[in-house]
Structures are given as C-alpha cells and as structure tokens.
Amino acid sequence: MVVSPRLEMLGVGKRFGATVALADVSLVVQPGEVHALVGENGAGKSTLMKVLSGAVRPDAGRMRLDGQAFTPASPLAARAAGVAMIYQEFNLAPHLSVEENITLGAEQRSAGFVRRAAHRRRMAAIFSLLDRPDLRLDVPVRCLSAADRQLVEIARALLADAHVLVMDEPTSSLGLADIERLFAVIERLRAEGVTIVYISHFLEEVQRVAQRYTVLRDGRNAGTGAMADVALNDLVELMIGRRLHEMFPRVPHEVGVPILEIRGLAGRRQPCAADLTLHRGEILGLAGLVGAGRTELLRCIYGLDAVRAGTVRIGAYTAGPGARGVHLAQGVGLLSEDRQAEGLLLSRSVADNVTLSRLGPLARWGWINLRAVQRATTEWMRRLDIRARSADQRLRDLSGGNQQKTALARLLHHGVDVLLLDEPTRGIDVASKAQIYQLIGELAAGGKAVLMASSYLPELLGVCDRIAVMHRGRLGRARPREEWTEHALISAAASGKETAA
C-alpha cells in the first residue's frame, strides 16, 4: 500500500515583477516527519512557505495535502485545512491571556457566549502534550518568556487541528535550555503524527531535529534527502552551490591610514565590547546571522543607538557613552538596512531624498535654491545611474535598486568619508547589485572607508578586503578575505568559533 505524502508541493514557481523568487521548486513531506528546509537568505524559503500558507499565490505548480488538491486562498483557509505557521515574530495579542490568545478567532460559542469548559479540557490536554501542564492559562501573554510564547503559538495551532506545522527559525530567540525543551516538544509532536517543516540557519540544530531535508538555492531545489545520509559540509555546499562569476568587479584600491577606531563598544543589548579599526580605502565586511548584532553595531558607531560603554573615534573626534546625535558632521554616514521603513522618504521625490541631509549649501538664509537642488540631484542620478523620470519622481514608484542607489546618493551628496552600509544589496536586482559593488570599489579607491554588513556571503567575499564575523553580539577578529571561505564564515556565524580555512 502506498501512503500518500502528507504534503506535496510540486513545480512551484513565483515571480515578483522581474525577479524570479521560485522556479520549479518541489517539497514533499511525509506524515510524522520533521523536514528541514534550508538555504541562504533570499534562497526562497519564506516565499515557498508563504505559498504554502496561502499568503502568496504561485504562478505555477500544484500542492496536495494528504493526497487532496490544496489551493489555499488565504492564510485563514490554509489554517482551516490544517497548515499552521509559527513565525519568528509571534502573532500574539500581548494583553490577552494565554487562553484568550489560543482561542482567539476559534471560540466555540453557544448563544453568543464562549464555551470555556470545553476549551479548557482541550487546552489542558494540549499543554500536557507540550510538557507544560503547569502553564497558567489566565496570565497575559506579555508576562511570558519567549519560549512560553512560542508554546502558546504551537498550542494555538494544535487547537485548530493543524497537521502541518511550519516553524520559521524557532530557536533564534531562545536560550540553550529552552532550545532543548523545544526539541523535546518537537519529538513528542512528531510521535503524535504532526508533520513539521523546520526552517533554520543553524545547521547543527537541523541535523539533530530533522529526518529529511530540502535545500533551496536561488529559488530552486538544490537537493533533498535523508538527514542521516548527509554531512554538514555537504549541506553547506548544497546551500552555496557556487558559480562566482564576474559579479564582483574588483577596483584596485590602497588601504591607508586608520579613520575609524572603535574600542570596547557596547550597546544597550548588542554589541558587547566590539573592537575594530577601519582604514581609509578599506572595505571591511561584517558577517553573521540575523540578530547577531551587526545592525546594532553599525547604529552604535553612527550614533543612532545609545552607546553603553566604549568609544568611537573618527579622526580627531571621539564619542562615548552619552554622546548625542548622529555622526554625519564627522563624516560618517549610515545606509539603513530597511530602506522602506527608515532609509527613505518614500512619499517624497528623489531630489528631496538625495539632498535631505545636506541642504545647507543649496540654500541661503534657510531659503532653498530649487534649481541647485535639481542640478545636484540630476548629477547624482547620472553618476549612480538612478533610473527615474525626473528628479521630482516619487521614491515609491522606483524599483528597489534605484531606491537603494538614491539612498547611497544621499551619503555621497553629504560627502561622508566613512560609509556604514547595512545590507546594501538586500532585495534589489542583480544589475543594480553589480553597480553597487562597482561603486563601493570606486569609493574605496577614492580613499573612503566602507564598513558593510551583509547576510549574502558571496558579496562579502567578493567585495571586502577584510571580514569579521559577529555571533550573538560579539565581534570576532577582522581577517583578510583570503583567510575566509564561505564555509568558514557560515560555521563561525553559526557557532561563534572561528576555524581558519
């Protein structure tokens, strides 16, 4: 007898505009298995799971759940069919109690009143399955630890009779003991016949918890099989694939005198005691997992986040704890990792965005010379190849690549010497990426210093002179690029232990 798989996704394809997010991707998961879905950032894991959850409609392919055709029109429909997502950021109402959160939207009513007794019995059963029969149902969720909140999410899914649970980076906000407990819970769920799709960057975890794996790379299947048959190294190789073509034009540049020195820099939570020296004409890369503290480090250096201890020295200027305001005046500029929410004024024009931080030279007595603004912007648009109808076009209507180049143009218009670039090529097209790499090289050749954080390892290895890895808030030593391999970077990022290549 052939048992039909619990979940089959076959030949799934999805494009967003010109970008191919998924191409002919398949994922087959058997009942009662933990299936690891791995891949680098941007490999298409989230998109695939959005297709599964009904949040994104695929352009091609089909899905089957227990042999039945499955075409969820919305996350609600997917949930009703038994597919539930446990996201990194929990979807809980912090002020409601555990019980209210679990039953939210699924209240059994009789004559308009919530039937509590029936619910309570089921919930008690679920929490004993989750090994937490002692969890109080009447406390507000905001009083719970991250681990318990996650259990509440899982309980909510189970109460809705989920057969397929998708866990997206479930351990990223947990401590070691909680991770062990979570693994025990996953094992129990599996024994109960629940199927789990487990997404994680931490390959060691994946190896422990999953029976089978599927690797995605650049929106395609890179491999699938039984976890027992594969070594960690093989998984890494499948993830990276590699075809490092001329994506990274190297502009010759000379490393000069130190321009930015940070000593023992600590932020509110992250980073802790970071030391780093950045030189003129140098491109220094920061690798690390999401949440490792790279963004926080850059923001502390820029003066946007509070500094708890340590110093930032920029030329002759030194900032420490209690320093106020950003260091634009000292010639440091930050490119935000989130250009939509922070980096740009999406509802304003290219000209407004490029000139915003340095309107002074374009104005007299506070009155702006609109023609000068226009001229300056047009010049930057030409030099950075920003494709817009005019300097007056609204940022919202530009592509991601052109938006990002606009954000870079602002730093250049400001004339900063130190560029802190946080994920400079996230979510932009390949052509713009290459242009940005070229630009970064030219800036270094012009004597500027670049400190860039990226989750895309090929670009770090392709562009940077030195690379340092951050792991849970700690900054490792910056080593020359030649001493790193992608493998070494991934393992340093995941474990915090550095092994020379």
Partner 1 sequence: MNTGAALAPLSRLPGGRASPGRRVLLTALAPFLGLLVVIALFYAIPPHPWVSLLDLQTVAVHTVIVGIAAMGMTFIIISGGIDLSVGSAIALTSVAVALALKQGWGVPAAVVVALGTGALCGFYNSVLITLLRLPPFIATLGTLGFYRGLAKWISGSMPVSAPAQGLGLWVRPAPVQEWLPLAPAVWLMLALGVFLAAVLRYTILGRYTFAIGSNEATARLCGIRVPRMKVYIYVLAGLLTGLAGLMQFARLTQGDPTVAIGVELDVIAAVVIGGGSLSGGQGSMLGTLAGAFLMAFLRNRCTVLGWPNFVQEMIVGHIIIIAVAIDQWRARRVER
Q: What is the CA radius of gyration of the chain?
A: 25
Which among 378, 452, 376, 369 is positioned nearest to 414, based on CA atoms? 376
Nearest distance from C-beta of residue 392 to partner 1, angstroms: 4
Amino acid type, 169? E
CA distance 501 to 498: 9
Measured from the CB atom, the residue of 162 and 260 that comes closer to partner 1 is: 260
Minimum CB distance to partner 1, residue 209 (Å): 37
Beta-carbon contacts of residue 442 (< 8 Å; ≥ 6 apart): 251
What span, in angstroms and rounded, lies between the C-alpha atoms of 46 and 88? 11
Sign of CA dihedral 207, 212, 218, 219: negative
**Which residue stretches of 28-74 are H helix?**
45-53
Where does residue 195 rank: exposed (0-12), middle (13-18), buried (19+ CB within 10 A)?
A: buried
Nearest-approach distance from CB 335 to partner 1, in angstroms: 9
Closer to partner 1 by Cβ: residue 105 or 366: 366
Binding site for partner 1 (CB under 8 A): 304, 325-326, 328-329, 334, 336, 341-349, 352, 356-357, 359-360, 363, 366-368, 370, 392-394, 396-397, 410
CB of 344 to partner 1, least distance (A): 6
Distance CA 179, CA 280 (A): 43
Closer CB to partner 1, 79 or 327, in the complex = 327
Q: Minimum Å distance from CB 375 to partner 1?
A: 16
Tell me the longest C-alpha to C-alpha distance in the chain. Answer: 85
- To the nearest whole angstrom, how small is the minimum distance from the Cβ of residue 60 to partner 1? 25
CB of residue 116 vs partner 1: minimum separation in angstroms? 36
246 Cβ contact partners less than 8 Å away, ≥ 6 residues apart: none
Q: How far is the CB of 182 from partner 1 (least distance, A)?
A: 34
Cβ closest to partner 1, residue 23 vs residue 350:
350
Residue with tokens 């029976």: 211
> Residue 112 or residue 366: which is nearer to partner 1 going by CB?
366
How far apart are CB 395 and partner 1 at their closest, in Å? 9
Residue pair 30/193 in contact by the 8 Å Cβ criterion = no
Which CB, 205 or 305, lies closer to partner 1?
305
CA dihedral 37, 38, 42, 44 (to 10 degrees): -30
Q: Which residues contact 461 (CB under 8 A, 6 or more apart)?
A: 244, 467, 481, 484, 485, 486, 489
β-strand partners of 86: 167
**Beta-bridge partner residues of 349:** 394
18, 452, 484, 433: which is closest to 246 by C-alpha? 433
Between residues 104 and 368, which has the closer beta carbon with respect to partner 1? 368
